[in-house]
Amino acid sequence: MISINDKVSALMVFFLISASQIGVGFLGFQSIINKYAEHDGWISLIIASLGISSIIWIIYQILKNDARGDIVAIHQFTYGKWLGNFLTLLFTIYLLLLATVVLRTYIEIVQVWIFPHLNVWSFLLLVIPLIYYTISNQFRTVVGVCFLGIVYPFFLNLTLLYPLKYADVTYILPVMDHTITEIMQSSTLAVLNFMGISALLVFYPFIRGAGQSQKYAHYGNLYTTLTYLAVCLIAYVYYSQGELEEQIWPTLGLWKIIKMPFMERFEYFGIATLFFTILPNVVLFMWAATRVVHRTFGFHHKKVAVALLGILFIGCIVSVGREGVNILNDFAGKIGLVFLFIYIPILFTINFIRRKVRKHVS
């Protein structure tokens, strides 16, 4: 049973959802969603966000009917102990994959833009103890990191207004110049930036009045959408289509033109500050994975954290070079798409039928 002192207010769901979604994808999602819809890619963001809002609603419908209210209890009730625990284990692997994608992509950005000779293992040896300290304590510590991850880097959004003086609005005209199919294809690519909501399946019981926190989850998703939409439109009116296709991290290109009397390379500062945005991603996913294993098998929380951080370390080491990171991101995107938009609705349906049958029998 979770103590009331370990729970946080419903308002914190806003920061937890936003912090789980805004991460390293902030730097390069514009060129990714540009693949099919091109200058209409910003529309695909809105569609992806609406899809995520529907999934948030479904997740709340699943969780609100269980006293323990997490993915472990839901799986065991819906599928039985053995199959339920197996599916929960797969969910743990999925969370580890998300954490690995975020951390390894950030390391690659640091290597390319700041420290070309940086060893992956040396960076991990600095960051992993910090992650362990955060996830081995109470959930409130994780929430505090997520809160700071939204508030502290907020001013970076304002710096992106600077490139607007070079904007050309004709780059995004005419609007809706692509087919619905092309826009939907780009929407599937945009979902990668919103997949962090999966952690809601784990931290739900730690929210006071969790059933009434749904509106804050939607507000968090809305804030994420508006942030991504603003950054996307700024990039689309700054870069031509030809330029955007050649950009791997368009946001860094926008920062690169910013000149200040006391700072020559603003993009260095942006990358450093972005660490406080990716840290909540990794911390939340790793805490959720640790919590799930602890709940399923009863292992000590801190020992599980050490084991899973070891797997995270190996996963980041194995992913070598730009090609390896691309493969990791593509794989995570496909898995996330299946999990959120296929598995979650299926789980909701089976769980709903199971509860109706049990209620009828009793």
Span 312-334, pLDDT tens digits: 999 999 877 777 788 888 888 89
For 4-350, CATH gives: 1.20.1740.10
Is pLDDT above 90 for 263?
no
pLDDT of residue 69: 78
Tell me the average pLDDT across 16-29.
90
d(CA 13, CA 139): 13
pLDDT digits (tens, 9 = 90+) for 215-256: 999 999 999 999 999 999 999 999 988 888 888 899 988 888
281 touches 19 (CB < 8 A) = yes
Mean pLDDT of the chain: 90
pTM: 0.94
For residue range 155-175, what is the model confidence (pLDDT) as tens digits? 888 888 888 888 899 999 888
How much is the pLDDT for 261?
74
What per-residue confidence (pLDDT) applies to 64?
85
How far, rounded to the nearest angstrom, does the alpha carbon of residue 351 sit from its chain's CA centroid? Answer: 26
Q: What is the pLDDT of residue 311?
A: 95
Kindly tell me if the per-residue pLDDT of 178 is higher than 90: no
Give me the pLDDT at residue 67, please. Answer: 61
- 264: confidence class by pLDDT, cuts 50, 70, 90: confident
Q: Which residue has the higher pLDDT, 278 or 6?
A: 278
- Report the distance separating Cα 158 and Cα 148, nearest Å: 17
Structure-block tokens of residue 147: 């809160």
- pLDDT (0 to 100) of residue 35: 87
Give the dihedral sign, CA 294/25/279/322.
positive
Give the 3-state DSSP-derived string for the chain, with helices as H, strands as E and coil as C: CCCHHHCECCCHHHHHHHHHHCCHHHHCHHHHHHHHHHHHHHHHHHHHHHHHHHHHHHHHHHHCCCCCCCHHHHHHHHHCHHHHHHHHHHHHHHHHHHHHHHHHHHHHHHHHHCCCCCCHHHHHHHHHHHHHHHHCCCHHHHHHHHHHHHHHHHHHHHHCCHHHHHCCHHHHCCCCCCCHHHHHHHHHHHHHHHHHHHHHHHHHHHECCHHHCHHHHHHHHHHHHHHHHHHHHHHHHHCCHHHHHHCCCHHHHHHHCCCECCECCHHHHHHHHHHHHHHHHHHHHHHHHHHHHHHHHCCCHHHHHHHHHHHHHHHHHHCCHHHHHHHHHHHHHHHHHHHHHHHHHHHHHHHHHHHHHHHHHC
Tokens linked to 341: 């938009």
| pLDDT computed for residue 227 by the predictor | 93
pLDDT for position 15: 96
Rg (CA), the chain: 21
Percentage above 70 pLDDT, the chain = 99
pLDDT for residue 362: 61
- Asked if omega into 153 is within 30° of 0 (cis), the reply is no
The confidence band for 265, taking pLDDT boundaries of 50, 70 and 90, is confident
Percent of the chain with pLDDT over 90: 61
pLDDT score at 68: 74
Cα dist. 49→36, 54, 103, 218, 300 in Å?
18, 9, 23, 10, 37
Predicted local confidence at residue 290, as pLDDT: 96
Do residues 270 and 255 make contact, with C-beta atoms less than 8 angstroms apart? yes
| 66 pLDDT tier (thresholds 50, 70, 90) | confident
Q: Which of 118-122, 154-158, 178-182, 197-201 has the lowest mean pLDDT?
A: 154-158
**For 294-322, what is the mean pLDDT?**
90
Q: What is the C-alpha to C-alpha distance for residues 299 and 288, in angstroms, rounded to an integer?
A: 14
State the pLDDT at residue 214. 94
pLDDT of residue 42: 93
* Per-residue pLDDT, 232: 93
